[in-house]
Amino acid sequence: MIRRRSVLVLLMAMALIGGACGGDSDDTSADGGELTSVTVLAPNPSAVIWFQLCSAIHQGFLEEEGIDATFEAVDGSGAVLQAMAADQAEFGIPGPGPLLSARGEGEDFVAIYNGFAQALFGLVVTEESDYQQPGDLKGDDGPIVIGVGTAEGSEVTFVRPILVDAGLEEDVDFEFLPVGDGGPATAAFERGEIEAYAAAVPDMAIIEARGLPLREITPEEYKTVFGNGYATTQELIDTNPDLVQGFVNGLVRGALFAENDPDQAEADCAEMNPEEATDPELARALLDLTLVVSKPLGGEPWGTYDAQAWADWGQSLVDDGTLDELPDVAPAFTNEFVEKAHADAG
């Protein structure tokens, strides 16, 4: 069995910096109908990584569903869930670990759209590198040097099991070297200090934006470690399922739109967060990578959750002591709204 559980645990600790950005707000839709105002809380002020919401708002897809959505950012998944529990937001984008932990404390959060269907980290080499898979990172004259942001960063926790599962031994076949994030990592590659790098999605975007093409060699089985997704409460699902369906309809339409027109999706995100758009090359590189890691593997539709991945998340929380017993993950997520949204979208 692939040792994924320690990888899953790290994602729940991804507390992201705060900030706030407001979405457009109107009292009536284009056809004069009443709009229902909702707040969507994100654990990160970036608009690009929530591209489906950007286009859902700025292409008018949510307005067509009768929804006036405001985007706000807070400090991490915990803050997202706390605000939702206090009825300060109808929707949020928390990580699956914090969501399951909150459910273990009696909250009724339900994930309704998978925002990051693939792993948020990856093992990368330069495009021209001879290394094709993790097992190749084995030095003949000493350990192969693999760059990481920091010695105790989440990327280390992600990559170490991949290398060990490939039959490699730390400090014999490979070793980690802290080189910093994106920009410094680019320099480390160019100076020949590292042969590979354990990167978060933004790091990959920065490196490629600096003119150094990368190739990812993360095994497929590790890419199923999904991250943050859109959630609401069971109470809202029970009392206003049409609102929840309309919101997910907008997300699905936003994702399909961005897939077909990334240039306009980039412009939509720039409207959501103008500060992020001041470095358009980096913003576009981040969007391109996010479009890849946000789409489920195996040809599943945008926003779809995998039941086994949720079960793995639940087991990981027990393994690391966060939860005392294995949670029932079935009520923690649903694909019902996503499936109907795709059916209606044709």
Backbone dihedral angles phi then psi of residue 143, each to the nearest 5 degrees: -65, 140
Task: Label residue 136 exposed, middle or buried (CB < 10 Å: 0-12, 13-18, 19+).
Answer: middle
Highest mean pLDDT among 28-42, 95-109, 215-229: 95-109
pLDDT surpasses 50 at 253: yes
What letters, b where the CB count within 10 A reaches 16 and e where it falls short, cover 300-322?
Answer: bbbbbbbeebbebbbbbbeeeee
CATH number of 5-118+225-345: 3.40.190.10, 3.90.1170.50, 2.20.28.10, 3.20.20.80?
3.40.190.10
CB atoms within 10 A of CB 281: 13
Average pLDDT over residues 98-117: 94
Average pLDDT, the chain: 87
Paired tokens of 340: 């109907």
Provide DSSP, 106-120: T--EEEEEBS--S-S
pLDDT surpasses 60 at 18: no
Strand order in the sheet with 36-42: 67-73, 36-42, 91-92, 230-233, 109-113
Alpha carbon distances (Å) from 326 to 56, 105, 296, 315, 322: 36, 13, 25, 6, 10
- Which H or E run includes 200? strand 196-200
CA atoms within 13 A on the CB side of 260: 8
**Percent with pLDDT over 70 in the chain:** 89
The yes-or-no answer to whether 5-118+225-345 and 121-220 have a common fold is yes
CA distance 91 to 41: 6
Provide DSSP, 55-115: HHHHTSHHHHTTEEEEEEE-SSHHHHHHHHHTTS-SEE---HHHHHHHHHTT--EEEEEBS
What letters, b where the CB count within 10 A reaches 16 and e where it falls short, cover 62-89?
Answer: bbbbbbbbbbbbbebbbbbbbbbbeeeb
Contacts of 192 (CB under 8 A, 6+ apart): none
pLDDT tens digit sequence for 118-172 = 887 889 999 999 999 999 999 888 999 999 988 766 678 778 888 988 999 999 9
CATH number of 121-220: 1.10.510.10, 3.40.50.10490, 3.40.50.261, 3.40.190.10?
3.40.190.10
pLDDT tens digit sequence for 286-322 = 899 899 989 988 889 999 999 999 998 888 788 767 7
CA distance 161 to 119: 14
CA distance 111 to 204: 27
- Structural domain boundaries in the chain: 5-118+225-345, 121-220
Amino acid at 134: P
What's the pLDDT at 320?
65
CA distance 275 to 225: 30
